[in-house]
Structure 1
């Protein structure tokens, strides 16, 4: 997991693919952290990506490096809206403080 996190942090724009009914949707993300030995990604629960993940939590994440190395992760989203996780994400990715608060 540390190698995956390092790759995502070194290539800070990564793409998350979800399903919107029968239509795939891909969008850029940049917020990732390790917390309690798990990878965490952040989004707002008012966004369509959140609704899509609630409806179908299967997700793929992909990015590439300037050296053309790439990664593709497949998994299932598990939601954690605890205050501790939110605080950790805001500290881990300070740029989120401009967009989010709790």
Structure 2
């Protein structure tokens, strides 16, 4: 029987992986950058990106993205869908409370903001070193 990973296992997987790669398409060209910040809250797996990041503007133009993460046990995670930015500032404030050093960069002086987003119309998988694919539920 296929193993199905649940949201808590996915969140743990991402913490173990440390770095998540965010990929977008802009002007028919792929772009990617690493992101580290994520959290599970209000039944949503949320990720963070700064308004100063060029991929932020790309995501606003074309919200269809792919997130991938790789762990030392040779399993990797792929999560694709439509990025939906959270309008409620408490999510970004919560992320900044979890990582206070972010206030050095995201503040009124710099003018940069930390934006939280989740994926909708999404699919997600964990793939092992033998290319076995396991469904995930998010």
Q: How much is the aligned-residue C-alpha RMSD, in angstroms?
A: 1.5
Q: What TM-score does the superposition give when structure 2 sets the normalisation length? A: 0.68
**Which of the numbers 60, 63, 84 marks the counterpart of 2:66?**
60
Rg larger for? 2
Q: CA deviation digits over 1:22-46, x for unaligned, max 9?
A: 0000110100011211011111223
Q: Answer yes or no: is the 8 Å Cα contact 1:33–1:92 preserved in 2.
A: no
Instruction: Give the TM-score taking structure 1 as reference length.
Output: 0.89
Q: Which runs of 5+ in 1 are unaligned?
A: none
Aligned residue pairs total 102
Higher relative contact order (CA 8 A, sep 6+): 2
Quote the Cα distance in structure 1 between the aligned partners of 2:77 and 2:83: 18
Give the ranges of 4+ consecutive aligned residues of structure 1 lying more than 6 Å apart after TM superposition.
none
Secondary structure of the structure 1 residue equivalent to 2:24: strand
Q: Which has more helix, going by share of residues?
A: 1
Corresponding residue number in structure 1 for 2:130 = none
Instruction: Give SS of 1:43's match.
Output: strand
1:12 aligns with 18
Is 1:69 aligned to residue 56 of structure 2? Answer: no
Query: Which of these residues, 32, 56, 76, is aligned with residue 50 of structure 1?
Result: 56
**Which is strand-richer, 1 or 2?**
2
